[in-house]
Amino acid sequence: MRARLIYNPTSGQEIIKKYIAEILNRLESYGYETSAFQTTIVADSARIEAERACKTGKYDLIIAAGGDGTIQQVVSGLVSFKRRPKLALIPTGTTNDFARALKIPRGKPLEAVELIGKAQTLKIDIGRAVSADKSSYFINIAATGALSELTYSVPSNLKTAFGYLAYLAKGVELLPRVKKAPVLLTTENETLTLDASMIFVALTNSVGGFETLAPDAKLDDGKFTVIVVKTDNLFEILGLLGMVAAGKGQHMTDKNIAYFKTQMLEIKPLSDKKILVNLDGEFGGAAPIRFENLQGALELFVNLDAMPDENYIGEDDVLAYEAVAQKFAEQTEHLKDEQ
């Protein structure tokens, strides 16, 4: 088997550089003949290399080493192809929300590589965002609103040391920018008109270092977890953050939250206020925008032993659902014949 390692040499204080030789040795022991590509200052070099590797058709596995940005680029390079290699991650960034949700060791490259030898994989969902001028992919979350920056902009060392107080300080800084605006939300089942200051469209349960913002998000069910914040009052928002930090999911039933699951979501502004979209921490365009869930788009090496069962459906359950759907189709066909 052949593998291609795509790594960001500057991620996480250049930690990956110390381990390249050992990583290649371990991949060789797992049966992978591996070559490596170091990302460059060229824009989207990780995505471009992932696309090139896919086009060759030579690789069974792509390994993305870096932070969430590098991983998101590699994923974007893979999902546009019908024949996709398996994907593995070596998370070396600051937050690594995506790896946190998958229970992949962060900042420990050799432990992350060991998961490839463990050979536990999961077919995970990927999000696609389509706006007027671009189409992009995301692996963790899409978000709108000025205060959505809170989950990304508080430095991790302050988050660890001061917790809720760190968000309070950052929230005061961002207060003048917090405004709610009317939006039209369309799913495959309904249409909603709401005033919203923030909208989160989540694929995993880990956002900005929190593992409780979308506590019931599953990695492979084909649905987004959508959380709409309906208030622009700073103290109410900080109260919601306090509930999130408590980790009991109380924010999901708060009067200032609208919560639902959907395979597709369209966001359309109903005022002159521009709604900018953040995809995995990077600028992703502006509304109107459509989000589509690409169920099971990538087969990824994960740590199933460490992941709670409620975070994913699993292959056995997927097969069971398919069997039920098949039986229903057969019965429906039988009724047609009788008519």
Q: Among all residues, which ones are annotated catalytic?
A: 282
**What letter would DSSP give residue 180?**
-
Q: How many residues does the chain have?
A: 339
Give the helix/strand (H/E) hosting 47: helix 45-56
Please report where in the chains the tokens 């990927």 appear, as a residue: 126
Question: Own/partner pairs for 269-276, CB < 8 Å, 24+ apart?
Answer: 269/181, 269/182, 269/183, 269/184, 270/181, 270/182, 270/183, 270/184, 270/193, 271/181, 271/182, 273/179, 273/181, 275/144, 275/145, 275/181, 275/183, 276/144
Q: Please, what is the Cα angle at 262 between 260 and 267, to 5 degrees? A: 85
Amino acid at site 223: K
Neighbours of 127 (CB within 10 A): 25
Contact of 147 with 139, CB cutoff 8 Å: no
| Encoded tokens for 310 | 């409620």
* Rounded CA separation 289/133 (Å): 10
Closest CA to 31 of 117, 106, 98, 115: 117
Q: Which two tokens stand for residue 68?
A: 């969430």
* Cβ atoms < 10 Å from Cβ of 15: 17
Q: Which two tokens stand for residue 100?
A: 């946190």
The C-alpha angle 5, 93, 57, rounded to 5 degrees, equals 20
Alpha-carbon gap, residue 105 to 4, rounded angstroms: 20
